[in-house]
Amino acid sequence: MSETTQFLPRAGSVHDLLFAPGSRGILIATSRDPDAKRTFIVTPPAGNYVDGPAGPAAIKIPVTVAAAGAINREIRMLLALLEADLGDLERTVPRYLHTLDSDGLPAVVTTVLRGTPMSVTYHRWMHTARRRAVATDFALAGDWLQRFQSATAGEPSRITWAAEVAAAVRDRWAGNPRLEAAQVRLAAADRQLRRQRVARTMVHGDYWFGNLLVDEGRISGVVDWESGVRRGWPLRDLVRFALTYCLYLDRHTREGRAVRGHRGLRRRGFGGGIRYGLLEAGWLPDLVRLSLRTGIDSLGLPAGLWYGAALAGLGEIAAGANDDEFAEHHLALLAELPYRPLADELRRS
């Protein structure tokens, strides 16, 4: 895809942009979530419907009222990113261009970023079975995130993230039989994290490999900012990448079968890859825990906080995921994990 191109559509509605004479477009993403959206890459005709040089734009169109709320949140975050001093990272985030009308709901138009989603290579045959390939993914994601957090760091605050997550989990899952066990683990995480202070930063909020674009061996784009906040806990993005990377390790393996490249990991129900990455022995768990410790250390925090942060990250997904079944699976996984990592890992932390 093309690098960013500066223009503002003269069109006032999605229809004006998509169906202008000579416009060309392609649907690149759609979903069936409660906040479902459709994303198009559109190239309007030069000189007719754009100000400035002709070029492609990304347009995200809401399918539901809930999706419109998500798009409004993304617009606010994109405007905040415009105001931030990101330095070289500025070219890796979409630039807000315009808001269009879509049957009474807002659609957002942004610049297009060059790159291939990391999810494309993640799902290639044997990619996650190769240590070097996985280490590269973690290094690229970790490097971009450290630079972003450094560029947007504010004043330090005592870390109340786990307590905030516990309250959100309690509100969503009141009466669920797994709630009490999950709350016990979040309380343990809170006791560990609350002792520390960290600079609050901008947070992407859904920092997983599907939202990272890669080009020429670097992160060339980070997209989908609808869950972002101006000032949040930097541990959120660090943990989200690690958890989601582990979650899909067994995606291409049949139930009960061993997962290639990861001795001891079999596909059994939900979340086996996360349990493996956080608790078991192997080259991938070593990489996962190293990435968490390294990222936490870069924030000026004790590296031993990695496990408590992981528990809070699981709780955050349980509290906030759009799909109820997906969220409840994370609640159950959180409730089943030990309060602390295995003894040998604790010593290494």
Domain boundary among 110, 140, 167: 110
Domain boundary among 43, 75, 110: 110
Q: CA torsion angle for 249, 255, 258, 260 (degrees, to 10)?
A: -40
Q: What is the CATH number of the domain that holds 332?
A: 3.90.1200
How much is the pLDDT for 212? 98
Half-sphere exposure in the Cβ direction for 235 (13 Å, CA)? 32
How much is the pLDDT for 55? 66
Residue 56 inside a domain? The answer is yes
Domain boundary among 58, 89, 110: 110
294 touches 238 (CB < 8 A): no
Same domain, 329 and 200: yes
Same domain, 106 and 190: no
Residues 6+ apart with CB under 8 A from 67: 35, 36, 37, 105
Task: Give the DSSP H/E element, type plus range, for residue 202.
Answer: strand 201-203
Same domain, 132 and 202: yes
Q: How far is CA 307 from CA 171, 196, 221, 284, 303, in A?
A: 24, 14, 28, 16, 9
d(CA 189, CA 274) in angstroms, rounded, equals 17
Q: Is 276 helix (H, G, I), strand (E, B) or coil?
A: helix
Q: How is residue 216 written in tokens?
A: 């020429």
Residue 99 inside a domain? The answer is yes
d(CA 346, CA 344) in angstroms, rounded, equals 5
Domain count, the chain: 2
Q: What is the CATH number of the domain that holds 38?
A: 3.30.200
How much is the pLDDT for 1? 39
**Within 10 A of 177 (CB to CB), how many other CB atoms are there?**
10
Residue 343 inside a domain? The answer is yes
Same domain, 32 and 157: no
Mean pLDDT by groups of 10 residues along the chain of 349 residues: 42 74 72 78 62 68 90 96 96 93 91 94 96 98 98 97 98 98 98 97 97 96 96 98 98 94 94 96 96 98 97 98 95 95 54
Same domain, 122 and 209: yes
Same domain, 131 and 235: yes
Residue 61 inside a domain? The answer is yes
Residue 208 inside a domain? The answer is yes
Residue 21: exposed, middle, or buried by beta-carbon count in 10 A (0-12, 13-18, 19+)?
A: exposed
Same domain, 228 and 320: yes
Same domain, 164 and 86: no
pTM of the predicted structure, to 2 decimals: 0.91
Same domain, 181 and 317: yes
Residue 81 inside a domain? The answer is yes
Same domain, 163 and 131: yes
Same domain, 184 and 294: yes
How much is the pLDDT for 51? 42
How much is the pLDDT for 56? 83
Q: Which domain holds residue 232?
A: 116-348
Residue 1 inside a domain? The answer is no
Same domain, 40 and 183: no
Residue 163 inside a domain? The answer is yes
